[in-house]
Structure 1
Amino acid sequence: MEFGRLITAMVTPFDTNGVIDWDATGRLMDHLIDSQQSDSIVVSGTTGESPTLTDEEKEALFRFAVKHADGRCKIIAGTGSNDTAHSIHLTQIAEECGVDGVLLVVPYYNKPSQEGIFQHFKAIASSTKLPVMLYNVPSRTVASMTAETTLRLAALDNIVATKECASTDQVTQIVAGAPEGFRVYSGDDSAALPVLAVGGYGIVSVASHIIGADMKRMIQAYLNGSVQEAAELHQKCHPVFKGLFELPNPVPNPVLVKAALALRGLPVGGVRLPLVGATEAEMASLRELLA
C-alpha cells in the first residue's frame, strides 16, 4: 500500500453541541487534499480526539471519509487502543467500511512488556487484510516500542509502516534493519526533514492542516537533491511546527489546530472535554505566529 509522503492526522470537526459536523468534515477534507496536498488522511486518530469518540461515531467517520475522499487520497483509520480485543473489533469495522489501512498506537496506561506489545499488534494484524501502520509515541503512552520489537513486527506480511516519535536514533535503527518496502514515518513535524535524511519515508503530520503545501515542497526538494532548499523550507516551517504544540505553553494539538483553522477561515468547532479551548493568550500568540 502506498500511503504517500505526507499524511495528515485530521482533527474531528464538531458543531456547537459537540456533535460531529459532517459539512465541516467534508470541507476540511477538501482543504487537506486540494490545498494542503495530503496524500493520506488519518481519521479518528488521537489528533481526532479518538478517546472521546464512540464506536458508532468512529464507524460513521470511516464511512464518510472513504466516500468523500472518493479515491483522491488514502484513508487510514485510527483503530488502536490499550484493549487488544476492542482494537480488533474496530479494525474489522474499519475494513468493512472500505478504508485503505489502519493506524495502531502502542497500548497506553497498562504498560505492556515488549512481548506484550508484539503480541498485541500481531493479534490485530492477523485479524485483518488491511495494511497496518504502527504508532510509537512514548510521551503519550509511557510504554515505548523498541526498534527490535518494531523490526519483529515488520516481518509480518501486512504490517507495512510505522509512525515513530521516540528519536531519530531509533528511526535510524529501524530503517537500517527493516525489510524492503517497510516505511518509516516521522510522527513529529519538526523531525520530518531529519527523518528523511536518515532514510525515513515521510511524515504523519499535524501542522499540515495549515502548512501542508510548504511541507510537501520541503519533502520534494529533499528527494530531488535540493538539500539547501529543503533546509530553508524546514526553517520557514519550524516556528509553526513548534508553535502548534508549545505556544505559549504545551497544549494538546487538537486545541491549537482547531483554533488555527478558524483563524484561517475554516472553522471546525471546539474540542470535547476533558480538553478545553484555547485561551485568549494562546489565541493572541497563535495570530502572531500565523501572521
Structure 2
Amino acid sequence: MDRNTLKEMVKGTIVTTPTPFDDDLKLDLSRTREITQWWVEQGLGTNISPLKVTAAGGECAALTDEEWLQVIKTTVDAAGSDAIITCGLKTRSTVHTIEDAKKAQDAGVVALQIDLPFYNHPNQDDYVRFFSDISDAIDIGIMIYNTHWFGAPSITAETLLRLSDAEHVFAVKWNTPTLEEYSRMKDFSHIFNVINNGGDPIACHKMGGIGYITWSATAYPQHDLDLWKALDECRYEDAQNLLDNQSLLMKWRDKSNLKSGGYRHLKACMTAMGQDVGQPRLPTLPLDEEEISELKQILRKMKWL
C-alpha cells in the first residue's frame, strides 16, 4: 500500500484495545473474539475508528510472542474483512522488528505502531535508518510512536522530513517534551497523518492533525465517534464540551495510577460499563470493588451509564 492509501485508512479516533484475560490471567481468546465483534457492531474498526491491538494499553509487554500473534489473528478474524485493524509491536532491533512486522502483516493488519528504538540509545540518524529499513521490508503502514519518555531523544521535525521517502511511514503518534516542539508538527502534517497522543486534540487538529489516541472508546464508543465528528467538522466548541464531560473520568484515572501504574484504568472502564475483559497482569495491581463502584458513579454523572 502507498502512503496516501494508508493515510485514508487510519485516521480519526485511534482505538487502543485491552487484551482480555481470564480469572487465572491467561489469554482469553473467546472473549477477545466476542468483544471485538461488539466493538465492530458499535461502529469501531472503520477508517475513522481503527482498532489498535497489542499496544501498551493492550499490555503488549506482558504478552508472550505467541500470545501477541494469537490476539492479532483472533481480532482480525472476528472483526471481518472490512474492518481496519492495526497493532503495536514490542521494542526490538531492526531485524527482529521486521520479523514481527511481517508476521503481523501476514495476519491481516493494515498498519503497525512502532516505538522509537529506545533500548539502543539512538540518535536522529539511527531513527532514519531504523524506520526506513522497516518501511522497505513490508507492504503495510508504519505509525511512528514518539516514545521519548523512555530516555531516547524525541524525534525531530527535521528527521521526520528526512523520512518522507519511506513510503510506508504514513503517520506519527505525536507527543513532545515541550509545546514549542509539538507545534513543529505543522512542518510535516502535510506529509504524515499526525495523531495526537496525550495533548489537546483540538489544538492538534487546528495545526493539521488528523486524529487522536483514545482508551475510553472501547467502553463507550459513541463518545469518541461524536468527538471525532465534531473535530472533523471543525465544531471545536462541541468538541470541547465532549472533552469537558470526560474530566471526572480523567481525574479518576490519575487517582488509579497513584495506586498502581500500567493501564488498569482501561480495563476498569470496561468492567464498569458491563463489558468485563479481566484484570491486568502483574506487577500492575488488580482493581477492587471500591474502585469500580466509584468509577460507576462517575460514569453515571457523565451519562455513560
Counting only pairs closer than 5 Å after superposition, residues 9-20 of structure 1 correspond to structure 2 as 9-20=16-27
Aligned residues: 289
- Identify the residue that residue 93 of structure 2 maps to in structure 1: 83
- Identify the residue that residue 157 of structure 1 maps to in structure 2: 167
Q: 2:129 aligns with which of 119, 132, 149?
A: 119
- Identify the residue that residue 117 of structure 2 maps to in structure 1: 107
**Cα distance in 2 for residues equivalent to 1:21 and 1:157:** 36
* AA partner of residue 19 (structure 1): K
Query: By how many angstroms is 1:284 displaced?
Result: 4.8
Query: By how many angstroms is 1:14 displaced?
Result: 0.7
Query: By how many angstroms is 1:70 displaced?
Result: 0.6
Query: By how many angstroms is 1:231 displaced?
Result: 1.8
Task: Tell me, yes or no, if the aligned pair for 2:279 and 2:287 is still in contact at 8 Å.
Answer: no
Counting only pairs closer than 5 Å after superposition, residues 214-225 of structure 1 correspond to structure 2 as 214-225=223-234
Task: Tell me, yes or no, if the aligned pair for 2:10 and 2:84 is still in contact at 8 Å.
Answer: yes
Counting only pairs closer than 5 Å after superposition, residues 41-80 of structure 1 correspond to structure 2 as 41-80=51-90
* AA partner of residue 233 (structure 2): N
Unaligned runs of 5+ in 2: 1-5, 301-305
Residues 263 and 36 of structure 1, relative CA distance in 2, 3 Å threshold: farther
Question: What are the Cα deviations for residues 45-89 of structure 1, in whole angstroms up to 9, with x where unaligned?
Answer: 111111121221122122111111113421112124142222111
Q: TM-score with structure 1 length normalisation?
A: 0.89
Q: 2:188 aligns with which of 177, 180, 183?
A: 177
Task: Tell me, yes or no, if the aligned pair for 2:160 and 2:188 is still in contact at 8 Å.
Answer: no
Task: Tell me, yes or no, if the aligned pair for 2:60 and 2:90 is still in contact at 8 Å.
Answer: no
Question: What are the Cα deviations for residues 236-269 of structure 1, in whole angstroms up to 9, with x where unaligned?
Answer: 1233345334446374352111122111111111
Aligned partner of residue 257 in structure 1, secondary structure: helix
Residues 84 and 248 of structure 1, relative CA distance in 2, 3 Å threshold: closer
Q: TM-score with structure 2 length normalisation?
A: 0.85
Task: Tell me, yes or no, if the aligned pair for 1:193 and 1:234 is still in contact at 8 Å.
Answer: no
Unaligned runs of 5+ in 1: none
Q: Does 1:196 align with 2:212?
A: no
Query: By how many angstroms is 1:204 displaced?
Result: 2.1
Query: By how many angstroms is 1:96 displaced?
Result: 1.4
Q: 2:286 aligns with which of 277, 280, 290?
A: 277
**Cα distance in 1 for residues equivalent to 2:288 and 2:298:** 15
**Cα distance in 2 for residues equivalent to 1:67 and 1:58:** 15
Query: By how many angstroms is 1:285 displaced?
Result: 4.1
Task: Tell me, yes or no, if the aligned pair for 2:52 and 2:87 is still in contact at 8 Å.
Answer: yes
**Cα distance in 1 for residues equivalent to 2:39 and 2:118:** 29
Residues 148 and 134 of structure 1, relative CA distance in 2, 3 Å threshold: same
- Identify the residue that residue 42 of structure 2 maps to in structure 1: 35
**Cα distance in 2 for residues equivalent to 1:275 and 1:235:** 28
Task: Tell me, yes or no, if the aligned pair for 1:18 and 1:270 is still in contact at 8 Å.
Answer: yes
Residues 250 and 100 of structure 1, relative CA distance in 2, 3 Å threshold: farther
- Identify the residue that residue 205 of structure 1 maps to in structure 2: 214
